[in-house]
Amino acid sequence: MEFKNLITSYWWIIVVALIGLVIIAFIIGNVYMNRKIAKEVELLSEASEEINEKPAAKIQEKDLEGLPKPVEKWLKSIGIVGQERIRAISFSQRGKMKLKPDQENWMDSEAKQYVRVDEPGYLWHVDLPVIPVLNTKGRDLFYDGEGAMEIRIGSLIPVVNEKSSDKLNESSLHRFLLELPWYPTAALEDYMTWKKIDTQSAKGILSFKGITVEAIFYFDEEGNLIKQESLRYKENDDEAERIPCIGKIKGHTIVDGLKIANRAEVTWVMDGEPFTWYKLENFDINIKR
């Protein structure tokens, strides 16, 4: 009875202590995630810096010879001739996101992305207000041919933690290909080949570390890239099949004299129905050559 009375008398101390422990746990989780991301940023940056020690030659018109005409026209129109190749790029990203087709309201998101271009690699980490007070932190990594995806509520509670698998690796490389408009000099890298389709479209084929992915790139009559589409894994389970994934270009910006796509919408086609799940804008773009 005395013990019960003691608990009753000091219940508020117990509640405060429990709340404090939860807060400390989430702080530790946030520190862990931030350190992990910082190490992966350093990993991508160090690999890119090694390449940057080599003298960079400027792109010439002859470097575009043999490309499908719409690809050549696009690259010339954005001012690629006379530019050095992009070795790495980083940018901040703001967007609106839906996690499922029947979701009514868009969620605001803030992200940061680091990309290695001399060979395919990237790190994307995002903060989402899925639960009030507790932000959900997501991380998407592709390095040395392997993908990794992690989502944690409050940076602590893991709800997704997937590492290298055949489907995840392929889907991650597909993402790099579909985002090529962010770093257009990648169109000339050795890992890329192009095939003509018609006067306003071409197939881009990317081969890296034994994985090959492809996407169709669509252009308007003026030579602007307007859309990319591929068959890509959305899920990574045994039953997952490739479905259409579409990126539509919605805006551009000029960075160091190069016209780069910086606004887009990303759509999955699920059971024949389009599901636009992400509307984004890149800013604070930093190019390394």
Please report the beta strands in the chain, taking only residues with DSSP state E, as ranges in sequence order: 88-97, 107-116, 121-128, 136-143, 146-153, 157-162, 192-198, 201-208, 211-219, 225-233, 242-255, 258-270, 273-288
Mean pLDDT across the chain:
85
Residue 119 is classified by DSSP as T
Over pLDDT 90: what percentage of the chain? 67
Residue among 178, 182, 177, 221 at smallest CA distance from 199:
221
Is the pLDDT confidence value at 65 over 90?
A: yes
pLDDT of residue 21: 47
Q: What is the pLDDT of residues 197-254, one digit of tens each?
A: 999 999 999 999 999 999 999 999 999 999 999 999 999 888 999 999 999 999 999 9
Cα 173 vs. chain centroid, distance in angstroms?
10
Q: Which residues pair with 274 in a beta bridge?
A: 269
Residue among 91, 230, 242 at smallest CA distance from 174:
230
Residue among 78, 74, 95, 91 at smallest CA distance from 265:
95
- Rounded to 5°, angle at Cα 123 from 122 and 128: 140
pLDDT of residue 136: 75
Is the pLDDT confidence value at 29 over 80?
A: no
Please report the beta strands in 84-237, taking only residues with DSSP state E, as ranges in sequence order: 88-97, 107-116, 121-128, 136-143, 146-153, 157-162, 192-198, 201-208, 211-219, 225-233
Residue among 147, 170, 150, 169 at smallest CA distance from 158:
150
- pTM, full prediction: 0.85
- Contact at 8 Å (CB) between 72 and 64? yes
Task: Report the alpha-carbon distance of residue 4 to residue 164 in Å, rounded.
Answer: 52
Is the pLDDT confidence value at 164 over 50?
A: yes
- Rounded to 5°, angle at Cα 231 from 228 and 234: 105
Task: Report the alpha-carbon distance of residue 147 to residue 9 in Å, rounded.
Answer: 53
Please report, for the chain, the start and end positions of each structural domain, with discontinuous segments joined by +.
Answer: 2-282
Over pLDDT 70: what percentage of the chain? 75
Q: What is the pLDDT of residues 92-109, one digit of tens each?
A: 999 999 989 999 999 999
